[in-house]
Amino acid sequence: MREAYVIDAVRTPVGKRGGALAGVHPADLGAAALRGLLGRNAIDPVQVDDVIVGCVDNIGPQAGNIGRTAWLTAGYPEEVPGVTVDRQCGSSQQAINFGAQAIMSGTAEVIVAGGVQNMSAIPISAAMLAGKEYGFESPFVGAEGWDHRYGTGEVSQFNGAQLIAEKWDISREDMEHWALRSHDRARAAIAEGRFDREIVPVGDFWIDQGPRETSLAKMAALQPLSEGSRLTAAVASQISDGASATLLASEWAVQEYGLTPRARIHHVSARGADPIYMLTAPIAATRWALEKTGLTIDDIDVIEINEAFASVVLAWLKETGADPDKVNVNGGAIALGHPLGATGAKLFATLLHELERRGGRYGLLTICEGGGTANVTIIERIGA
């Protein structure tokens, strides 16, 4: 099997809900990441075989194949195709994995993979609610096979996060300590310029808006998301806007176009778990990936796991035995935000740059996804 090399990975700064990116059309937002990526790499855009973009809630300005639209909006060649992927929160990680698989299989030489999401413009779950006017209360309930297998109860990330906290005996205080760590780490990363190489600005906006100074006392004063819940807004990912992009290439393309690879794709896979718990699949997916590669969790130098909720990360830590000091070292989605379709490639960019900063060898990315699935991507730094 051929190698798939990582040439570069970038992201826009993340805007908070109603913030700096709220008024930016999703196609323009995606285009900003694409231009930022290709603008700093010496390859003719016409040499790109495909553009694979993750996005969730594909309605309105995010409909009509936003991957293709963003590429054209960026001013790039019409002969280069584009496609949009929806694997919920892991959509742009899946875009990277699909791109890597295309290169490994020999059906592509150069792939641009990324993601975009404007949650200020198109609220979370907008696509799931769009069917109501046609008589469908949800995408799940009402399907005979689903109702027979899983019942007609709530199917949501909020319910899943609460179930996880209960099953793994994760207290509200445990989650608030992790949330505080996320904010502290994110603010330190920004102050030290650790994101500077991975961020491409949108106009004059270039600093993430999400991280804030908070405290355990402030978190303790918040009301739970529902009566009896251990969850509050403080331990959940932030609603956000942003875009991301990654350049992948084969060995032939590296030599033909004079590209400099920074890492190689060591492993890609996805696994599933209970869709009612919804957010536990990173546990099974990580175990699967480590088994397939022969690596142990201690072999991994840098880990990014999406902080959909603090309970997701804390349960994963309990099950994998990973060193917390290797996990989300620059903060996570609780502080930095979670622009759904863009998050996978966003975290991939952070993973790549942090792996280089630390001089590590292996980096692992995993994200919990709606429907109870999770992706894992493992990269190996060139020269490690």
**Which residue numbers are catalytic?**
89, 338, 368
Would you say how long the chain is, in residues? 384
Residues 277 and 164: beta-carbon distance below 8 Å: yes
Q: What is the DSSP string of 299-365?
A: G-SEEEE--SBHHHHHHHHHHH---GGGBSTT--HHHH---HHHHHHHHHHHHHHHHHHHT-SEEEE
Comparing C-alpha atoms, which of 369, 19, 354 is closest to residue 212? 19
CA distance 93 to 376: 8
Euclidean distance between CA atoms 131 and 136, whole angstroms: 5
Q: How far is CA 170 from CA 10, 176, 229, 233, 331, in A?
A: 34, 10, 12, 16, 20
Task: Please give the Cα distance from 43 to 122 (Å, whole number).
Answer: 33
Q: Return the amino acid letter for 36.
A: G
List the one residue out of 117, 123, 97, 122 whose CA is nearest residue 33. 117
Strand, coil or helix: 131? helix
CA 184/CA 178 separation, integer angstroms: 10
Beta-carbon contacts of residue 128 (< 8 Å; ≥ 6 apart): 57, 138, 139
Dihedral pair phi/psi, residue 322, rounded to 5°: -65, 150
Closest among 276, 273, 331 to 166, alpha carbons compared: 276
3-state secondary structure of 3: coil
